[in-house]
Amino acid sequence: MKSWLDFFELVKEKPYWNNMVIFWNEEYKNKTIYPTRENIFNSFKLVPLDKLKIVIIGQDPYHEPNQAMGLAFSVPLTSILPPSLKNIYKELQLEYGLDNGNNGDLTYLSNQGVFLINTILTVEEHKALSHNIKEYDLFFKDFLRYLDDVDAPIVFMLWGNHAKSFLPLLNNRHHLILQSAHPSPFSAYNGFFGCNHFTKANDYLVANGMAMNFDDLKLTQTYFKNEERRDPTETELKVLDTYWSDHC
């Protein structure tokens, strides 16, 4: 049985891994970098490989304060919804009638097996794409190759040309590949809205004995929507698995 621990043992032997560690040591020491160092691999911590159902690929972490949390497209409870996330919520509403309110924390999706990963793992404050380094590209390609060898039902959502560029690495017949425009306001009306990716993903998972429970998600979101806006609790943000700190 494959696991993330096995995956990281493999990548730690690659030359690019040491380069990434050196890069993190310098960047986090001298600059403001997002997400926090302990959250670089947040998706790996929240979604065990044997629970993974869906992979959604982003590109660059949010580069303004109180946004990036190591999950692509997700922001903490107290943050204003970014435009792309607003459009993701609009598509969920079109497909399932979900009203997600102002809660941009997608941890609830991760808890259901949705892996939210940016191809670029970190970013300097106020500087989009500032960490577009080759080491991250090599790491992400190894991540996809590792998943491509997993013979279990997995749905990949490729939104926009950047995500679609990784399509040649996805060849497993047990996996479902969904492609559309990016949810950015600049492209959402060119094929993201109405793509029905969430419905198609759920139909595929149900056909393979799995499912996303959107009814439960709606209850969760309604709770957060009706709560007074507040700072995340220590429990909500704390890194529970100290193993991951050893990797970065």
Residues identified as active-site: 60
Tokens of 101: 């309110």
Spatial CB neighbours of 61, under 8 Å, sequence gap ≥ 6? 34, 35, 67, 68, 70, 72, 118, 120, 121, 122, 123
Contact 104, 204 (CB under 8 A): no
Contact 154, 53 (CB under 8 A): yes
The burial class, CB within 10 Å (0-12 / 13-18 / 19+), for 228 is: exposed
In 3D space, the residue among 180, 179, 174 whose CA is nearest the CA of residue 207 turns out to be: 174
Rounded distance, CA 38 to CA 241, Å? 10
Q: What are phi and psi of 214, to 5 degrees?
A: -75, -25
Tokens of 88: 């993701």
